[in-house]
């Protein structure tokens, strides 16, 4: 568990936890990469942002009205969550997050 709430770190039942010092999300991500080195085991974009359930690939013709028409025309790869039925695609948010993770991983490797 990663948190900035020290009270949440007190129960002994939680064995894997870490206090995060940084305040801003980008610095928090960098801090986590530097201290825990998750890059080797990171599997980004595999879990639903809403319910944390695994995402699975879905054929474009099964997306239906769960993505806007423009998105269906511009993108080939879609994934869905079987819990909330949301559909995700590799749009600009996804690409920005991938670039952010790559840059944080690269800079944390450079400081070793
Ligand atoms: Zn979901």
Per-residue pLDDT, 15? 82
Per-residue pLDDT, 10? 86
Q: Ligand 1 centroid vs 30 CA: distance in angstroms?
A: 26
Mean pLDDT across the chain: 86
Looking at per-residue pLDDT, the higher value among 43 and 97 belongs to 97
Q: Ligand 1 centroid vs 83 CA: distance in angstroms?
A: 5
pLDDT per position as a tens digit, 48-97: 989 999 999 999 999 999 999 999 999 999 999 999 999 999 888 888 88
Q: Ligand 1 centroid vs 81 CA: distance in angstroms?
A: 5
Q: Ligand 1 centroid vs 112 CA: distance in angstroms?
A: 36
Q: Which band of pLDDT confidence, cut at 50, 70 and 90, is reported for residue 112? A: low
Where in the chain does DSSP place strands (E)?
A: 2-3, 18-19, 55-58, 78-81, 87-89
Per-residue pLDDT, 80? 96
CA terminus-to-terminus distance, the chain: 24
Contacting residues for 85 by C-beta, under 8 A, at least 6 apart: 66
Q: Ligand 1 centroid vs 105 CA: distance in angstroms?
A: 27
| Location of structure tokens 């991500």 | 29
pLDDT over threshold 90, residue 36 = no
Per-residue pLDDT, 110? 63
């Amino acid at each position: 568990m990663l948190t900035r709430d020290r009270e949440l770190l007190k129960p002994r039942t939680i064995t894997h936890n870490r206090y995060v010092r940084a305040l801003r999300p980008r610095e928090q991500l960098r801090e986590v990469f530097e201290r825990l080195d998750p890059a080797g085991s990171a599997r980004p974009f595999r879990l639903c942002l809403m319910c944390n359930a695994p995402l699975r690939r879905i054929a474009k013709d099964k997306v239906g009205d769960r993505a806007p028409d423009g998105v269906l025309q511009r993108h080939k790869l879609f994934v869905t969550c079987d819990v909330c039925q949301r559909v995700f695609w590799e749009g600009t948010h996804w690409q920005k997050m991938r670039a952010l993770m790559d840059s944080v991983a690269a800079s944390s490797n450079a400081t070793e």
